[in-house]
Amino acid sequence: MRSMLLAACAVQVLALPALAQAAGEQKVDDLHAIGDDIVVTAPYARSRADLLSGTSVMTEGELRGALQPQIGEVIARQPGVSATSFSPGASRPVLRGMQGERIRVLTDGIGSIDVSNTSADHAVTIDPITAQRVEIIRGPASLLYGSSAIGGVVNVLDKRIPRAVPEHGVHVDAIGSVASAADEVSVAGGIDAALTDTIVVHVDGSWRDTNNLRIGGWQLAPVLREHALEHAEEGNEEAAEEAASRGRLPDSYTRTKTAGGGISLITDRGMLGFSVGYFESRYGVPTRPTLGHGHDEHDDEDEDHEDEHGHEHGDVSIGLKQWRADVRGEVELGEGFLEKLRVRVGYADYTHTEFEGGEVGTVFDNQGVEGRVELVQAKRGAWNGAFGGQFYIRDFSAVGDEAFLPPNETEQFGLFTVQELNLGALGIEASGRYERTNVSSSAIGVSRSFSAVSAALGARYSLTDGISIGVNASRAVRAPSAEELFSNGPHIATQAFEVGDPTLAKEKSWGLEAFLRGETGGFAFSLGAFASWFDNYIYEADTGLEEDELPVFQYAQGDATYYGFEAEVSAPLFDAGGVRIVADGVADYVRAKIDAVGPAPRIPPLRLLGGIEAQSDLLTGRVEVEWSDKQTRVAAFETATGSHTLVNASVSWRVLGADGPATLRLSANNIFDVDARRHASFTKDYVPLAGRDVRATLSLSF
């Protein structure tokens, strides 16, 4: 940890004098003022139309309408996005069929610094109820944030470090929600207050409590339930109980609370801000069914254990805590070659405990620091660009009988640049990144070092004023993570025996992406197709073997191919008398194959989503239908997933008028209470999605 602190201090000491001296706020950095056509997840804000990668933006209002305990579920209806859906308490984004170490989840451009990338059962330490904006970048543009963003970036923006002086001196945001599927109650609030013309303070907090989730049918997927029924017919009572489980998902409760505060100095030439935050969550982990083969070492005596909050749960639950500190600085540099300097540093101390019944099983500790410096070049004619550096240091340890990963350290340093030429109708963009990664575990005497160079080159052409086409090609290289290299043992939460390979080589890929997008007469569309060809693709495969009565999952490498498409469209149907009716749709598909093995595991199937929305100054109503195809292209020892159709509806009422501070939203999701499962989920065969969920949300902003 000493090296972490020294690195963080070095960046701050070098940058803070300049930042403090000039410490402005650009209007584009005020989260309430950014339109959904502007993307700030880049060294400089850019229009979505100018980006050469697939991009989605969820604004504050959209986030309020999609509230769920984990960020993966919140964004799962966006193009090219699914979720791991391990449990209601742990769900990470899946982009273009990729998850885990290929997706970065960021807080204002800096990693969440937790262990959610370590395993699907680990929660992301970001409470969506406090988010102001989410930006999703798919494709080559994400490489600016590290090789572990090869599949994409999800950047969650909040107001913990104030970016603007409140217009009236004080600004208050508050939200409360109740929902039926999990008996959910959640509240959150934040206050920004100007102490002077240039100093702003912020405080916020949130609390959420849910019970076991109601589901739209049997807990077990058909193939597992069939096996359980076979054992039940032989007189096995445990199998009979598992086959009969329906209506509620056992051990799926969640309880989360957060608190934080920040302070910023904001002037005409820049800003400098600091924040501290606390995240705590306790959630149940649904148990893999035994199908009549008996319990493991934890018997029935633990099944009805109640935790300190009175929630009943069985064998496994997870409790985690994270303390975090962040620095954000930005300064205008004048009229020379460089226009702006940005600095972001985040440090987090994370502890995660896996409980087996009422006893402590394994404790994970993770201390990490990440820093990023961006230098934005002054625009010179058609030329614009930026460059910078980034570092990430992690010290990880696990103690307990199921410590499947030995203590290890990761040090990563990178340099990056993006350069663009705007030649009228033609735009050309090039980006590159050099990265050095050291991964070591003194406990097993293994140390690996990797150098990686990634680059992308693309062009876009404007066919008309609002319609453009584009293509880009990329070469990406990713170093294997500590989890992929060093895992070797039982992991009770995922109920798997995980085995890494310390000899893994770098993962390399060529990528190609093409798009057609535009807007004309209120009609907007975006069509994109992509393909990636991997050498030494790292994957975790079910071997069909057992160790310690758990299925063995082994990390391996092979050549692989991913390809697919994403489409998004919005069309006005009616606009008169203060009422506007809009139809919109999303479609996405990905197909992936590991050459020597067959279909890649947990790849989402074809998905179609369509909606009609009526909008007015006071009321907005929406009805949508989401259809997911069955997935029968499965990896070895992986089961197929059936298709499902979800019907959702909502209505929002601006209580005190169009410019009023209060909005009441009523929504009903999965109205017909169908059995729905995400194929991208590790636990899909015994953790279905929520059944019918009626939700009421009241938000205030004044």
pLDDT band at 528 (very low <50, low <70, confident <90, very high): very high
Calculate mean pLDDT across residues 628-643: 94
pLDDT at 6: 46
Place of tokens 């999965």: 670
pLDDT at residue 19 is higher than 60: no
The Cα–Cα gap between 178 and 269 comes to 43
31: confidence class by pLDDT, cuts 50, 70, 90: low
| pLDDT for 37 | 76
Q: Is the pLDDT of residue 609 over 80?
A: yes
pLDDT number for residue 596: 84
What pLDDT is attached to residue 308? 43
Q: What are the C-alpha distances in Å from 615 to residues 293, 425, 486, 586?
A: 55, 34, 53, 20
Q: Residue 79 pLDDT > 90, yes or no? A: yes
- Token pair for 202: 């912020």
- Looking at residue 14, its pLDDT comes to 47
Residue bearing the bigger pLDDT, 84 or 28: 84
Look at residue 397 in the predicted model and tell me its pLDDT. 94
**Which of residues 155 and 540 earns the better pLDDT score?**
155
Percentage above 90 pLDDT, the chain: 72
Nearest residue to 605 (alpha-carbon basis) of 563, 633, 638: 633
> E strands within 333-445?
338-356, 359-377, 383-400, 408-423, 426-441
CB burial class (10 A; 0-12, 13-18, 19+) of residue 303? middle
Residue 77: pLDDT above 50?
A: yes
324-336 average pLDDT score: 94
User: Does position 307 have pLDDT exceeding 60, yes or no?
Assistant: no
Rounded average pLDDT over 432-453:
96
Q: Which of 138, 122, 188, 224 is nearest to 491 (CA)?
A: 122
57 vs 303, higher pLDDT: 57
Instruction: Give the structural domain span for 344.
Output: 2-701
What confidence category does residue 300 fall into, taking pLDDT thresholds of 50, 70 and 90?
Answer: very low
Least confident interval from 434-438, 521-525, 565-569, 692-696: 521-525
Q: How far is CA 682 from CA 154, 158, 388, 493, 677, in A?
A: 20, 30, 37, 12, 11
215 pLDDT above the threshold of 50: yes
Closest C-alpha to 143, from 392, 453, 386, 377: 453
pLDDT at 619 over 90: yes
Question: Rounded mean pLDDT of 655-672?
Answer: 92
Judged against a pLDDT cut of 60, whether residue 202 lies above it is answered with yes
Residue 163 near residue 264 (C-beta atoms within 8 A)? yes
- The letter for the amino acid at 497 is F
Q: What is residue 695's predicted lDDT score, i.e. its pLDDT?
A: 97
pLDDT at site 536: 97
- The pTM assigned to this predicted structure is 0.91
Find the range with the poorest average confidence among 42-56, 145-159, 370-384, 644-658: 42-56
Q: Report the C-alpha dihedral over residues 180, 184, 185, 189, rounded to 10 degrees.
A: -110
Alpha-carbon Rg of the chain, whole angstroms?
Answer: 25
Distance (Å, whole) CA 89 – CA 252: 7
- Confidence at residue 294, expressed as pLDDT on a 0 to 100 scale: 52
pLDDT above 50 for 352: yes
Given a cut of 80, whether residue 326 has pLDDT beyond it is: yes
- Of 141 and 593, the one with more pLDDT: 593
246 with 185: CB under 8 angstroms?
A: no
* Residue 676 in this model has a pLDDT that exceeds 80: yes
- Closest to 428 in 3D by CA, of 467, 473, 477, 388: 473
Straight-line distance from the first to the last Cα atom of the chain, in angstroms, rounded to the nearest whole number: 42
Number of domains within the chain: 1
pLDDT at 28: 39
User: How far, in Å, are 130, 398, 417, 565, 643 from residue 633 at the CA level?
Assistant: 38, 36, 39, 17, 13
What percent of the chain stands above pLDDT 70?
A: 91
Residue 493 pLDDT exceeds 90: no
- For the segment 281-296, the average pLDDT, to the nearest whole number, is 77
Q: What angle do CA 241, 244, 246 make, to 5 degrees?
A: 125
119 pLDDT tier (thresholds 50, 70, 90): confident
Instruction: Provide the pLDDT confidence category of residue 465 given band limits of 50, 70 and 90.
Output: confident
For residue 188, give the CATH number of its domain.
2.40.170.20
For 637-658, how does the pLDDT look when each residue is reduced to its tens digit (9 = 90+)? Answer: 899 999 999 999 999 999 988 8
Task: Identify the pLDDT of residue 301.
Answer: 41
pLDDT of residue 8: 45
pLDDT value, residue 22: 46
Residue 560 neighbours by CB distance under 10 Å: 22
Burial of 503 by CB count in 10 Å (0-12 exposed, 13-18 middle, 19+ buried)? exposed
**What are the angstrom distances between the C-alpha of 237 and each of 231, 297, 413, 586?**
9, 18, 56, 45
pLDDT band at 494 (very low <50, low <70, confident <90, very high): confident
Does residue 4 have a pLDDT over 70?
no
Indicate the average pLDDT of the chain. 89
| Mean pLDDT to the nearest integer, 172-201 | 96
Separation CA 347–CA 363 (nearest Å): 20
pLDDT tier, 33 (very low <50, low <70, confident <90, very high otherwise) = low
Place 120 in a pLDDT band, splitting at 50, 70 and 90.
confident
pLDDT score of 522 more than 60: yes
C-alpha to C-alpha distance for 43 and 417, rounded to whole angstroms: 9
663-674 mean pLDDT: 97
CA distance 135 to 450: 30
